[in-house]
Amino acid sequence: MNQARSLVLNRWLAFSALAILILLFIFVPGVVKMVVVSVLLAYIFDPIVTAIELRGLSRTASTLVFFFFVILIAWGLFAALAPVVYNQIMALRSGAGSQQTSQVILKLQAVVRDKLGFIGLGDVNLEEKISQLTGYLSDTILDFILHEGLSLILYAVTIPFLVFFFLKDGREMKKHFIGIVPNRYFEFALDLLYKMDVQLGNYLRSQFTDAVVFGVLATTALWLLGVKYFLFIGPFAGLANLIPYVGPIAGALPAVAVALFDKGDITLGFQIILAFIILKLTDDMLVQPLLVAKGVHMHPLLVLLAIIIGGELFGMLGMLLAVPATGFVKVVLQESIVTLKKYRFTD
Amino acid sequence: MDFLSFLGLGKHEGRKVRFRDTLRSIPIFSELGRRELAAVERILHKREYSAGEVIFRQDEPGLGMYIIESGRVSILTDDALNNMTELGDGEFFGELPLLDGGSRSATVVAKTPCRIFGFFQPDLFGLIERDPRLGVKIVLSLAAIIGMRLRAVNERVQTLLAEGAAAGAAAQRPRHKKAEEHSRRA
């Protein structure tokens, strides 16, 4: 009798948790965003903590050691990069347009006035428009930092906190989840969860590694070419590379724009495009084949739809997370079907 | 508060200690130390079954073995739908899929309300990844058990073959005798 009661209670608890999750998703999307990002990061870093565990430490101690090193690296990066980043924001704000830039803009303006005068662009002032745009961009960045500062701090504190607990207690959480599955489907659920865990972990880690490698290569290439703000554009290109097809273009565009509007150097613009083509070829032919599990093949249309939906729901972050999230759903469905076929439940 | 509770060995702790003893009595875990047994205990899944509930069915994919903490189970096969055997407290079943992930060779039904612990392949893989020394100990013990069973089956096959040969020879003898008598008469 007691067993039946505890089973009913467990199911009620599971349903309540699911209902709360759905409500959170609808009414507090920010929380969902934080949890999704934390779960993805925990998946990515789990093997590192497990490797530390191999040295004979407990899971908690391993997670603490991992965080100690993460904080150390983050602090080092902050100390080294903060002044450079600050200078780059200030340079963007002051709209450090050079003389060559003005010349290129004037040339462009002449072409526009000459060729496109018939559609009412005869008296367009490109220089003014561009300086307005760069001013607007830098103000938006600063506004974002100032006004969203509180939520940025909240994110910066909450996400590592969540990642810590997902890393430390993730195994226990999975065990509790398995614990509420009815006896009949318990082995099936365990099998499914394990396969998903392996596939998903491999997929997310390969995506993350690819983004990091591409980001580092792009930053180095932009630094070598002498492009300003390379510390922003390089990592952005790495992140954008997560989005198939449009990602590399989206990554290259800001660099080309900076080359054209800041230095007024068309040759540099072409060099950047060439560098990004080489980077993308290296990524496709060298980096990706070396990564173990890039094998979650998705139809281009599905990717496009996922990016649009991700963007509509969660903005820029949603667009970046759309592809891994769709990969997640695809792996879950694929493994569910394969495992269900294997178990052939008839009652 | 009694003395056991004072030592942190109340009802719950007492059960824990008893279960650890049960674990140690299982050949797969008999070589493990206290810390290692605790690590194994952490990855076990506790399940409760009511009387008559099926634990797993023959030919279904299997993931691992079950250890009975309390209660009795019946092991049945489809070809002989009668009780093959019954198992009780401290006994274990279904250990083969732990190694090969193959299908179940029998159906197991709870005869009385049971408290059972499951030890499964995915958790064993995780353990091997985190603590290879412990993982190897468990896998070696499993291999030893399978090896012992294989040896027993080999011996049984040899005995059956010898018995078959003896029976064949015995059946041939009267025929030889008849042939001899026939030739003598001729």
Q: Do B47 and A183 touch (CB under 8 A)?
A: yes
Q: Cβ of B71 under 8 Å from any chain A Cβ?
A: no
Confidence of residue A255 (pLDDT cuts 50, 70, 90): confident
Contacts of B40-43 spanning 24+ positions with Cβ under 8 A = B40/B119, B40/B127, B40/B134, B40/B138, B43/B119, B43/B123, B43/B124, B43/B126, B43/B127
Mind listing the pLDDT tens digit for each residue in B44-85?
998 999 999 999 888 888 888 998 988 999 988 876 556 678
Residue A226 has pLDDT above 80, yes or no: yes
| Pairing relationship of beta strands B73-76 and B114-120 according to DSSP bridges | unpaired
Output A182 or B20, whichever has higher pLDDT: A182
Nearest CA-CA distance, residue A171 and chain B, Å: 9
Q: What is the pTM of this model?
A: 0.69
Smallest CA-to-CA distance from A141 within A229, A31, A32 is with A229
A16 token code pair: 């309540």
User: How close does chain B come to A32, measured CA to CA in Å?
Assistant: 29
CB contact under 8 A, A53 and B61: no
Picking from A171, A183, A343, the nearest residue to B49 by CB comes out as A183
Q: Give the gap in angstroms from C-alpha A42 to the nearest C-alpha of chain B.
A: 16
**If you search the block for the tokens 């018995």, which residue do you land on?**
B163
Give the integer Cα–Cα distance in Å for A204 and A198. Answer: 10
Is the CB of B20 inside 8 Å of chain A's CB atoms?
Answer: no
- Between A63-77, A180-194, B2-16, B127-141, the lowest mean confidence (pLDDT) is in B2-16
Taking an 8 Å cut-off on Cβ atoms, the answer to whether B122 and A190 are in contact is: yes
pLDDT in tens, A142-157: 676 666 667 777 788 8
Facing residue for A191 by CB, picked from B50, B63, B132: B63
Q: Does A182 touch chain B (CB under 8 A)?
A: no
Residues from chain B that touch A53, judged by Cβ atoms under 8 A, are 130-131
Residues from chain B contacting residue A341 (CB–CB below 8 Å): none
Condensed to tens digits (0 to 9), the pLDDT of residues A272-317 reads 889 888 988 888 777 777 764 455 667 777 777 887 887 777 777 7
Q: Which residue of B has its CA nearest to A340?
A: B61
- Both tokens assigned to A39: 């779960």
Report the distance separating Cα B128 and Cα A53, nearest Å. 12
Say which of B61, B118, B125 has its CB closest to residue A343: B61
Query: Could you give the CA distance from residue A10 to residue A157 in angstroms, rounded to a whole number?
Result: 32
pLDDT of residue B1 exceeding 50 = no
Nearest CB to A343 within list B48, B49, B60: B60
Residue B118 CA to residue B34 CA, distance in Å, equals: 19
**Chain B residue with minimum CA distance to A54:** B130
B120 touches chain A (CB under 8 A): yes
In this model, does residue A66 exceed pLDDT 90?
yes
Nearest CA in chain A to B117: A179
Contact between A300 and A245 under an 8 Å Cβ cutoff? The reply is yes
A68, pLDDT greater than 90: yes
- The answer to whether the Cβ–Cβ distance between B131 and A342 falls below 8 Å is no
Model confidence at A103: pLDDT above 90: no
**Chain A residues within 8 A of B131 when measuring between CB atoms:** 53-54
- pLDDT class of A206 with cuts at 50, 70, 90: confident
Contact state of B120 with A4 under an 8 Å Cβ cutoff: no
Dist CA A167 CA A159 (whole Å): 12
How far is the alpha carbon of B123 from chain A, nearest alpha carbon, in Å? 9
Q: Is A342 on the interface with B (CB under 8 A)?
A: yes
Residues of B in contact with A187 (CB under 8 A): 56, 60-63, 118, 120
Mean pLDDT, all residues of chain A = 77
DSSP β-bridge partners for residue B86: B74
The domains of chain B, with CATH numbers, are 3-170 (2.60.120.10)
Which stretches within chain A are classed as H helix? Answer: 2-27, 29-53, 59-94, 99-115, 126-147, 149-179, 183-225, 230-240, 247-258, 266-282, 288-290, 300-343
Residue A242 has pLDDT above 80, yes or no: no
The residue of chain A nearest to residue B59, with distances taken between CA atoms, is: A343
A49 → chain B, closest CA residue: B130
Looking at the complex, does the CB of residue B88 fall below 8 Å from at least one CB of chain A?
no
Question: Hey, which residues does B46 pair with through a beta bridge?
Answer: B117
